[in-house]
Structure 1
Amino acid sequence: MAPAPVTVPGTPAATAPVTVPGLTQAPVAATDWRERMATAMQQLEALQRTEVGVYVLDLASGQSFGHRAEERWYLASMVKVPVAIAVLQAVERSDITLDTPLTLRAADKVDGAGATLRQPVGSALTVRWLMGQMIIYSDNTATDMLMNLVGLQAVNGVVKALAPQGIGRITTLAEVRRQVYGQLTPQASHLSGHDLVLLQRAGSDAERRRRLAELLHLPPGEIKARSLDGAYDAYYAEGLNSGRLDAYAGILTALVQGKALHPDSMQTLLKLMEDVATGPQRLRAGLPPQARFAHKTGTQRRRICDAGLVRMPGTDAQHPVVLVACVRDAPTLPRAEHLLQQTAAALCRSGLLTQGLNDAPTCPAFLPDDRHGAAAAQLAR
């Protein structure tokens, strides 16, 4: 069994390491990278007054570190990785192919990033193209089309098979929105995809509440007085699309070790994850430039995440470092992204990615309270 993660007095307990069936782990001498990570996480939370969770698993040694990793975090678009696995498993069974066309319906459209929303209704979009939009650009409409293709049961089956405990039920992205607005009125279950797009475009929270009443043909007084922040908090408390960070690491571990997909399918997904265009100021910005990072970001109101597989040149492709991190209730998106960037920088400077060399010159600086740098990074996005 791998050594237990380090626990530092006064910090949330570190989680037990993920058990990886079949993983050969040679005895590893204790190193200080976990102590350095614990100190860095203390500094980040003390200076930022914002909650950060992180889980790190070194597949080469079996060592792990967790900070708030046993808590439940909203995963947001990181759930798109198990969606992709479910789709590729369907391809492996010959139920579909990557060139299978799906017809875009008006009901499929969901607010969010990506090009699918801009395609004309009736367009024939291949599974391959939709997969790229979903993973690289975090496209919600593409995601829901793929979820509807393979079925939510298959997606949740992937999660249960690869992370038997610790991750709640996955829903469509349209259902996320209906659940949130459902905290304001039960009539939100009737919102169409087009309605959801109009609500996103409404702008301010006050305008969104007004538009919600208008779309549902309700008097404004029938919309609960709860704020949208309160509606999201109530939704988060339900545990949908949420989970422990160590449990999510189990999905990534199973993927890279060939337990989720056949080799060709695995490489297809890992290549898409290396090409992710979202969140360039998150974990990737804190890693050394020579690192390969196959990852997926997640973004929701006052919740952001990033998780992936870090591989340095010359290391075994089957034994990367698994890195999963989330931030909640940061005052701004740039501050939240800065925390993720600094979490990765702390990991690099801990020596884990640099053959035991602490504070390697290739690692970005660890500046836990760099407000000016975070603001500059936001301007550059």
Structure 2
Amino acid sequence: MRHRAMTLWVGLLVSLLLALPAWGAPIWGPALEARLAALEAEGDDDLGLHVRVLGEGGERFGWRDDETWYLASLVKVPVAVELLARVEAGELSLDEVLVLRERDYVDGAGPTNWAEPGTALTLRELLEPMLMVSDNTATDLLIGRLGLAAVNRRAEHLAGGGLGPITSLLEVRREAYGRMHPAARVLTGMDFILLRRTEEDAARLDALAERLDVPRASLALPSLDAAFDAYYASGLSAGASGLSAGASGLSAGASGLSAGASGLNAGRLNAFGALLAAIGEGRALGPAATAELLAIMSATTSGDARLKAGLGPEVRFAHKTGTQHRRSCDAGIASRGEGAAERRVVVVACTRGERDIERSERVLRQVGRAIRETGVLGP
């Protein structure tokens, strides 16, 4: 009888152990997975999510996080890391001044576009709007000062592979519109600002043909959707990317990019999560620079209707958003609690497919809510 009871207890114990998640697998994973599946079933967006708990345990969760996603302005985070690392090393100062020229303007949000040509701006005055309001002109000015090769080397190192080459925001426009006609690859930032004033797609293509001084029928693709789809699908070949060693400073040796890396300004969400983890764990920058970077990212005002709204007011979120044609992202480090009880979690979320940006933001907001309600950040 005693032997039989012992056998029953051992069997029960084995069953319980088998029911537990594997080491490092989150107990909240199945509930979060169910919520994401339901969200995808409700709309037209594909979802991607990477979650990584910082500190002891280090649970990770992925939903399409090993696929390649267009990261849009999330790439501004490694630009900021490169800048602050150079400041830490004494190579640069945030008080250094750059002079804004007419050729520097890039379409998009931010105060830099409202400054007159000839305006002197410090690196700090470019860093803060780049992160807080996703200022494209500020970003390209900083990229010009830092060099794309340096930004890419640091990003690749911190992400451990899986990120495609980062390029300038102006180059993004040239590459996307270049799918329509090769002459678009020499348009200036001001050209794209003028084109963006025409909101309706067909009228914008008419304006593009007029600006290029070519017949409308010579445009290779029928819509902006088709042009951006072709851009997102582009790989690393010199012909596809349009990046030359002289123009971008990128070469196989200079960039350090792995053969399996993704397309321009794209990458795996788990790779970008690794980069954010390096920031959060103090491996990317020293303590002072890490605190400064996270403070600026905590003041981000773009994307208030995305993850941040779903995570709730009790969660602090140092993050960066990314938005491009039919693409939306939000990524950062979420924190809840204080001191020894603080729980810090890297979250990287992207959507693709939906044209309506408000719907995509609502999906990201619901992802944030699912993260909160399934216990990722604690009870």
Q: TM-score, normalised by structure 2?
A: 0.84
Q: 1:226 deviation in Å?
A: 2.6
What residue is the counterpart of 1:293 in the other structure? Answer: 317
Query: What does 1:1-381 correspond to in 2, within 5 Å?
Result: 32-60=27-55, 61-238=57-234, 239-315=263-339, 320-354=344-378, 357=379
What residue is the counterpart of 1:378 in the other structure? Answer: none
CA contact (8 A) 2:174 2:187 kept: yes
1:317/1:299 Cα in 2 relative to 1: closer, same or farther (>3 Å)? farther
Q: 1:114 deviation in Å?
A: 0.2
One-letter code of the match for 2:371?
L
CA contact (8 A) 2:180 2:227 kept: yes
CA contact (8 A) 2:68 2:266 kept: yes
SS of equivalent to 1:240: coil
Q: 1:319 deviation in Å?
A: 6.0
One-letter code of the match for 1:137?
V
CA contact (8 A) 1:32 1:350 kept: no
SS of equivalent to 2:334: strand
- Per-residue CA deviations over 1:308-332 (Å, capped at 9, x if unaligned) read 1011022559961011100011242
Q: 1:222 deviation in Å?
A: 2.1
Inter-partner Cα distance in structure 1 for 2:95 and 2:343: 32
Q: 1:39 deviation in Å?
A: 0.8
Inter-partner Cα distance in structure 1 for 2:155 and 2:340: 26
- Per-residue CA deviations over 1:71-114 (Å, capped at 9, x if unaligned) read 11110000000000111112122222001010001111000000
Larger radius of gyration: 2
* 5+ long unaligned stretches in structure 2: 1-21, 235-262
SS of equivalent to 1:320: strand
Q: 1:352 deviation in Å?
A: 2.2
- Per-residue CA deviations over 1:253-297 (Å, capped at 9, x if unaligned) read 001111111111111110110000001110001112111100000
- Per-residue CA deviations over 1:202-258 (Å, capped at 9, x if unaligned) read 221122112212222222222224311000000000121011110000010001111
Inter-partner Cα distance in structure 2 for 1:65 and 1:343: 13
SS of equivalent to 1:181: helix
1:92/1:317 Cα in 2 relative to 1: closer, same or farther (>3 Å)? farther
SS of equivalent to 1:231: helix
CA contact (8 A) 1:72 1:243 kept: yes
SS of equivalent to 2:347: strand
More moved, 247-256 vs 31-40:
31-40
Inter-partner Cα distance in structure 2 for 1:44 and 1:133: 32
Inter-partner Cα distance in structure 1 for 2:215 and 2:90: 51
1:230/1:317 Cα in 2 relative to 1: closer, same or farther (>3 Å)? farther
Q: TM-score, normalised by structure 1?
A: 0.83
1:31/1:155 Cα in 2 relative to 1: closer, same or farther (>3 Å)? closer
Aligned length: 329
Inter-partner Cα distance in structure 1 for 2:339 and 2:330: 22
One-letter code of the match for 2:123?
V
Inter-partner Cα distance in structure 1 for 2:153 and 2:344: 25
CA contact (8 A) 1:167 1:247 kept: yes
SS of equivalent to 2:155: helix
One-letter code of the match for 1:304?
S
CA contact (8 A) 2:335 2:342 kept: no
One-letter code of the match for 2:283?
K
More moved, 34-43 vs 215-224:
215-224
CA contact (8 A) 2:325 2:355 kept: no
